[in-house]
Amino acid sequence: MREDGEASARQKNSTRRVLFLLNCLLLCLGTTGGPLISRLYFLHGGKRVWLSSWLETGGFPVCLVPLFISYSRSRLSRHPKPFVFLDARLCLAAFVIGVLTGLDDYLYAYGLARLPVSTSALIIATQLAFTAAFAFLLVRQNFTPFSVNAVLLLTVGAGVLALHSSGDRPRAESTKQYVLGFVLTLAAAALYGFLLPLIELMYGKSRQRLTYTLVIQIQFVMSFGATLFCTVGMLVNNDFKVMGREAREFGLGETTYYVVLVCSAIIWQFFFVGAIGVIFCASSMLSGIIIAVMLPVTEVLAVLFYKENFTAEKGISLGLSIWGFVSYFYGEYKLIQKKKENNPTPLADFTPSIPNP
């Protein structure tokens, strides 16, 4: 019996680690791929900001796939269990957060339409500072000198761009449009920096015992709320009426236009599922760190694929960002080593208490 118990514990620990790593992978793919494919839409003739916003959460039906698998497993197992749905309180909270996410999608899409990917990505790095501040206020996040140093470095790094922000302004774009894009992107970073700890707070206040299946349901409701918000914007802006014409005039061809839209919706869904999954497995702070840590990758890919300029300001900002990343993870490494000394458990890492999926 003891051996069976140990084997079961090891299996659960393995499942938890796989779940954590899977969500990290989804978040990394969405963080780098989302901005690149959204920018591709704008670079080749796309002009509908509300449509781009809608695509960031419009792929939420893909969440039905893991939910269907979970439902099937619960029905076909040796000991069938009832499939658990969100209660009304948690569903309402997820919907409200979803509407705020829709607003954030619009702010981000507008900024991305006006800014190069590399500049937009560096501004979004300030999200970590906002996440840290709101995490401290909402969920009492503990900080070490290393994490504080990381937040400061990332904030200063993004601030360097503001000193000479007009140097990489796209052609035929006015200074007013560029500055507005800069400001709205910063606002998007601040709002999402607030939403990540808010999601963690929602988890903590839940009366239901959260499982990963419920987390996917939360993502479904959140994305539905965000998509509904953006759908209203598209209707008011007549985006649905002009999509056919925009597709015919798209620089890469009509078929590619629709491929870009579908891929954008799917990749952005990776981002959101990964973000709330990492919060579930660890914390909103770690989710913000992973979003920020993928910044150098987005930078390099934007320069490679879109031939964007890599100015001195971006180089300084990138260097400060990398320094901040190293500082944070070194601090986490020291914290993990200390925890192992005080409580040597098999799962003394970023996934201390993940409920069963």
pLDDT per residue as tens digits for the range 309-330: 777 777 777 787 778 778 877 8
Q: Tokens 């393995």 correspond to what residue?
A: 14
The residue with greater pLDDT, 344 or 342, is 342
CA 66 vs CA 60, 217, 219, 288: distances in Å: 12, 10, 12, 24
Does the structure show a pLDDT above 80 at 237? yes
Spatial contact of 295 and 125, defined as CB atoms under 8 Å apart: yes
- d(Cα 27, Cα 175) in Å, to the nearest integer? 33
Q: Tokens 């761009």 correspond to what residue?
A: 161
**Domains of the chain, residue spans:** 35-77+87-342
Per-residue pLDDT band for 174 (boundaries 50, 70, 90) equals: confident
Q: Return the pLDDT at 335.
A: 73
- d(Cα 315, Cα 161) in Å, to the nearest integer? 10
Q: Return the pLDDT at 353.
A: 39
- d(Cα 12, Cα 6) in Å, to the nearest integer? 10
Q: Return the pLDDT at 78.
A: 66
Find the angle CA(311)-CA(180)-CA(123) to the nearest 5 degrees: 45
Q: Give the three-state DSSP class for 146.
A: helix
Summarize the confidence of residues 141-150 as an average pLDDT. Answer: 79
pLDDT tens, residue by residue, 253-298 = 999 999 999 999 999 999 999 999 999 988 888 888 888 778 777 8
- d(Cα 6, Cα 214) in Å, to the nearest integer? 27
Q: Which of 201, 202, 225, 260 is nearest to 36 (CA)?
A: 260
How many Cα atoms occupy the beta-carbon half-sphere of 346 within 13 Å? 9
Per-residue pLDDT band for 226 (boundaries 50, 70, 90) equals: very high
Q: Return the pLDDT at 4.
A: 53
Mean pLDDT across the chain, nearest whole number?
83
- d(Cα 11, Cα 184) in Å, to the nearest integer? 46
Radius of gyration of the chain (CA): 21
**pTM of the predicted protein model:** 0.83
Q: Give the three-state DSSP class for 99.
A: helix
Summarize the confidence of residues 220-234 as an average pLDDT. Answer: 96
Does the structure show a pLDDT above 50 at 346? no
pLDDT tens, residue by residue, 15-41 = 778 889 999 999 999 999 999 999 899
Q: Which of 113, 122, 251, 273 is nearest to 199 (CA)?
A: 273
**Hey, what amino acid is at 159?**
G
- d(Cα 329, Cα 250) in Å, to the nearest integer? 43
Does the structure show a pLDDT above 50 at 173? yes
